[in-house]
Amino acid sequence: NAGVTQTPKFQVLKTGQSMTLQCAQDMNHEYMSWYRQDPGMGLRLIHYSVGAGITDQGEVPNGYNVSRSTTEDFPLRLLSAAPSQTSVYFCASSLTGTSSYEQYFGPGTRLTVT
């Protein structure tokens, strides 16, 4: 199993550009989520999904869109990049229905918006 994979590893965008961060998992996990990690802020939840066709907002959803058409994939779209979106983005997955929601993280995408 590859676990959780993310592409790209690094990305530089100009203000106003759009892009999609890819996330895939091969563990047949129902629950997937996106976090951003900023210095001194910890991990903050952007969006999450409890299964194909179902998504919901997390703590910091503004400026981001998600969709979940398959169990395996959960892409994160930046609609119009802003410098405030410079961050490291992590995708994670876990089994739904467990009380502990243990999460398996991808390696991250480091995004810089200039």
Partner 1 sequence: TQLLEQSPQFLSIQEGENLTVYCNSSSVFSSLQWYRQEPGEGPVLLVTVVTGGEVKKLKRLTFQFGDARKDSSLHITAAQPGDTGLYLCAGADYGNNRLAFGKGNQVVVIP
Binding residue count for partner 1, defined by CB under 8 A: 27
Distance of CA 45 to the CA centre of its chain: 9
Q: Which of residues 92-111 bind partner 1 (CB under 8 A)?
A: 92, 96, 99-108
Q: Which of residues 33-72 bind partner 1 (CB under 8 A)?
A: 35, 40-45, 48, 50, 56, 58-59
- Residue selected from 34, 64, 74, 90 as contacting partner 1 according to rule CB under 8 A: 90
Residue pair 20/11 in contact by the 8 Å Cβ criterion:
no
Distance of CA 26 to the CA centre of its chain: 16
Residue pair 86/102 in contact by the 8 Å Cβ criterion:
no
Peptide bond into 8 cis (omega under 30): yes
Q: What angle do CA 81, 2, 102 make, to 5 degrees?
A: 75
Q: How far is the CB of 16 from partner 1 (least distance, A)?
A: 28
Q: How far is the CB of 23 from partner 1 (least distance, A)?
A: 11
Q: How far, in Å, CA of 92 to CA of 40, rounded? A: 20
Q: Which of residues 5-34 bind partner 1 (CB under 8 A)?
A: 31
- Residue selected from 4, 13, 23, 24 as contacting partner 1 according to rule CB under 8 A: 4
Residues that bind partner 1 (CB under 8 A): 4, 31, 35, 40-45, 48, 50, 56, 58-59, 90, 92, 96, 99-108
